[in-house]
A and B are shown apart, each in its own frame.
Chain A
Amino acid sequence: MAEPASTRPGAGLLDRDAIRLSERAATTDEAIRRCGETLVEVGAVTPAYVEAMLAREQTISTYVGEGVAIPHGTLTAKECVRRDALAVLRFPDGVDWNGNRVLVCVAIAARGDGHVEILSELAQILLDPERARALREATEPDEVLALLSPVRKESTA
Chain B
Amino acid sequence: MPSRTVVVGSASGLHARPAALFVSAAAAQPVRVTIRTGDGPAVPAGSILSVLALGAKRGTEVTLEADGEGAEAALDVLADLLVRDLDQEPASSTETAGTGA
Interface residues of A (CB under 8 A from B): 56, 59-62, 64-66, 70, 72, 75, 108, 110, 113, 116-117, 119-120, 122-124, 126-127, 155-157
Contacts and interface: CB of A to CB of B under 8 A. Distances in A.
B57 A116 contact: yes
A66 B55 contact: no
B76 interface: no
B15 A116 contact: yes
A123 B38 contact: no
Interface string B30-60: 0000000111100000011111111111101
Given A60-B20, A108-B16, A119-B55, 6 more contacts: A65-B47, A65-B49, A116-B55, A127-B50, A155-B55, A156-B40
Interface residues of B, number: 27
Given A59-B17, A59-B91, A117 B49 contact: no
Contact of B53 (A60, A108, A123): A123
Contacts of B56: 116
6 tightest CB-CB pairs across the interface, nearest first? A120-B55, A123-B52, A123-B53, A116-B13, A123-B49, A60-B20
A139 to B, nearest CB: 24
Nearest to B52: A123
B17 A119 contact: no
Contacts of A126: 49
A117 B12 CA distance: 12
A124 B20 contact: no
B21 interface: yes
Interface string B10-31: 0111011100110000000000
B53 A124 contact: yes
Nearest to A63: B48
Nearest to B40: A156
